[in-house]
Copies of this chain bind each other. A is one copy, B any other.
Amino acid sequence: MTTAPGTSLRITIPELASLLRPALLRLTRIVRNQRVDLSVTLTQLSAMWTLEKRGPMSAGELANCERVQPPSMTKVLANLEERGLVRREVHPTDRRQAIIAITPEGVTLLDSERRSRDAWLTQQLGTLTAEERALLQKVIPIFDKLAAQ
């Protein structure tokens, strides 16, 4: 099963699916557990990160970005709001919608979390070759494409 650099044995698409799925699952388990500040989980961090990157948006829109169902996002937001890391405002013209925004406290936490929390993954990535990292970078948009359903 060894492959020379740059070449790979051809496998079928279902075989690729069978290999990719558990590999994803295991790596995500590890990444999820690399927490320095135990008060913020990966799920919460990812939601905050999206809010920071894309700006304020409705709860439903955020759930869609994060690929979770609305009730799941409700829970995450309740937790974050309670701690003052995000705030909600009513939509100016549609009072059903809650517009969620990250707070300055949220941004501050995000910065320090990112520095400390990324430490493990950053360190791990540092052990790879530049080619392997380039490969990872190229695969991210493919993941996004797959996750887009």
Contact = CB atoms under 8 A, between A and B. Distances in A.
Given A24-B31, A67-B26, A132 B142 contact: yes
Interface string A30-70: 11100000000011001001100000000000000011100
B27 A136 contact: no
B30 A28 contact: no
B118 A8 contact: no
17 contacts: A7-B138, A13-B122, A13-B125, A13-B133, A14-B114, A18-B114, A21-B46, A22-B50, A23-B140, A23-B143, A24-B24, A25-B28, A25-B46, A29-B67, A29-B147, A121-B146, A124-B149
A66 B16 contact: no
Contacts of A138: 7-8, 135
B16 A133 contact: yes
A4 B146 contact: no
Contacts of A128: 142, 145-146
Question: How many interface residues does chain A have, given as a range?
Answer: 35 or more
Closest 8 CB pairs of A and B: A17-B121, A17-B118, A28-B28, A23-B143, A27-B147, A22-B46, A26-B147, A26-B67
A43 B22 CA distance: 9
Given A24-B27, A28-B25, A136-B139, A14 B146 contact: no
